[in-house]
Chains A and B, each alone.
Chain A
Amino acid sequence: MSTQRLPMTVVGGYLGAGKTTLVNHVLRSTDERIAVIVNDFGEISIDEDLIVAADSDKLTLANGCICCTLADGFAAALMQIRSAGTLPQRLLIEASGVADPNQIAAYGHTPGLRLDAVVVMADAEQVRRQANDRWVADTVRMQLAAADLLVVNKIDLLDDSKEADDLCDWLAGLSPGAAVVRASRAAVPIDVLLGPGSASDAADGRERPAPDAAAAPGWHTVEDLFESQTVVLDVPVPMLVIEALLADLPDGVARLKGLIQAAPPTSADDTNAADAANAAAYLIEAVGKRTSMTPHATDPTQPPPRWAISLISNKDSLPPTWLAERLVRRG
């Protein structure tokens, strides 16, 4: 079943933007079993407390999965991961600092995998210079354009929120369709990076703040950057409503995820009336403008799942009832 495909997240961005910091942050903040692929070990520095064993060609991570390299190609890396004992729930690939993230993302079409998102990191202080650099301007702009989720990292190094707003607007122009989010120390909430519901139980669904986040001025602390809304859906939703929702997500939406029952129209004349008898379960997801809707296999021996859609957006970018209104609106 297609829902069983392993989600793959690509982390790209120019040198020094915080890719490795983000990888460490993800490993630290979720209970998901994540296997990591890096371009080469010369570039990787997984925090020591996240590693339980190191071999010449791979690291064993605290989550039981491995971190290996693209030294012998993607197929070999995948084989290494699959034969490592602990089967991962997600693949995280850190691209090299000059790589085109889209080229790495192409591996997400390998049978058994599903590309979840291309996350591109930008260094808030350096990205304007880099995007106009004599040598790497085109490389940096290509990377930014590839993002589904553009993380404007080190935002705390900017002078004020006006500067941050201007930068994010400018980056949004270079990265059409991407959700632009802000972070310092790459501390993007895990629900934003991997989808709602991905955070560690130990963290009680809340992001562990970056070590010095408390010291940072209020306008860019994690709590001030995002908000979420959830709508519970006890009855099947018309398929067309879901399609319309996914087709037209506003810029502020960073992540959306839902497990729903969607129903075809009862007749060609009344497309808003759902034919509940023929409803089917779907997993819907969105990051930036990348959306997917895949059939979801329910296990009849288990209690039914909680049918709901959750959305995370940049703070103050949407009315708190936006999602509910979209779902109840007809026509």
Chain B
Amino acid sequence: MKKDSLIASPFMLWVLIFTIIPLGMVCWYAFTDASGAFTLANIETIGTYWVYLKDSLVMGAVATLLCLVLGYPVAYIMSRASWGAQQTMMMLLMLPQWMNFLLRTYSWMTILENNGLINTLLGKIGIGPFQMINTKGAIILGMVYNFLPYMILPIYSVMEKIHESLFEAARDLGANRYNTLLRVVMPLSLPGVITGITMVFVPSVSTFVISQMLGGGRNMLIGDVIERLFVGAAPNYNVGAALSLVLMVLILISMAIMKKFDDGEETGGLMM
């Protein structure tokens, strides 16, 4: 290390102590039992928790897909709007993010409850009540609501850089709106889509707050299981660490797959 870069040493020390060692401890706990002896038993318990893991992955994937379907058109419309309108929409997107996400999720609780806003209003016209809270749908709604801006913003920031001349060129070469969107905008926006997908998928899969508030503890996700194993009534750090490790590895694998997809497209596509 050059002497010049010594200024980065507090950072390197910090990363070592508070990032690398803690992750090392997760691995260590995952592969040892309460007495500290090596064991694979913790990893093997995954079988019993597979239901929660599967539910988390499926619900996270559904929420991510919904965010993409809902958010992509918004990002596109934003990127083609006038400059002032773009700034305003950016601000409108950021503003709700400044309210703590527990409060935003709590608000959905009050809306979806059995005697909540929607059911009260429906009751006035003689319909319902419907069971909305404590369902899987409510959890997915919470995920989409909280993480939708994470999908829109990265896609928008890539699309905004697509130069107007590319649209003109596509039109000159005889492409219609649909073809321009499909063959110019979509390939170029792919890096933003990939970032958006990771930014929505990771927090969705690993959440325990949304599932506890909107799922009422009946629809446990892997995050809830891990939370209970660490701060619950009967903590078991070893199994908890093993589950965290599995969660981490699964997320890393899905991100590596996404990344591969991204690279493959980029080499064949247009470089701006």
Indicate whether A and B interact.
Answer: no
Name A's B-contacting residues (CB within 8 A): none
